[in-house]
A = this chain, B = another copy of it.
């Protein structure tokens, strides 16, 4: 049952981070699941999240992806920080749409991790694809 224990720890870490994230409250980010090396984070697009063209701001999409990435790259209980990330925008997201970001680990080598995060809308449209590079800083996120 090692898998279960690791995933339970990962979930506890995501909940711990989630409770402390100012942005989580501001944007109404919800934790939709987490395990070792992965996490899902969702959000409903609101009027205050738009850009000048009236659709969801690219920075808000990045924030959603980056948050799922943070949960996933901290899921081994070693504090990890984002070093670098890239994002490709595929479809605009409209006010009222629920978006879900799914982060999964591509690689984990020494202090470095690489994660892919996809953002999809409820109708299945792919909104954006993100890739992040993390580096551990040392120390635990939560007590074990």
Binding site for B on A (CB under 8 A): 16-18, 20-23, 25-26, 46-54, 57-60, 62-67, 70, 74, 79, 81-91, 106-107, 109, 112, 114, 116, 118, 125-126, 129, 131, 133, 141
Contact A63/B70 with A50-B22, A83-B133, A126-B107 known, Cβ cut-off 8 Å: no
Q: Which of these, B21, B51, B53, contacts A57 with CB under 8 Å?
A: B21
B-side contacts of A106, CB under 8 Å: 116, 118, 126, 129
Residue among A20, A25, A52, A91 with max Cβ neighbours from chain B (10 Å): A52
Contact B82 A107 (CB under 8 A): no
- The CA of A57 and the CA of B129, in the complex, are separated in Å by 19
Instruction: State the main secondary structure of chain A at its contact with B.
Output: mixed
- The CA of A91 and the CA of B18, in the complex, are separated in Å by 22
B-side contacts of A58, CB under 8 Å: 62-63, 66, 70, 82, 85
Contact A107 B131 (CB under 8 A): no
The smallest C-beta distance from A98 to any residue of chain B, in angstroms, reads: 17
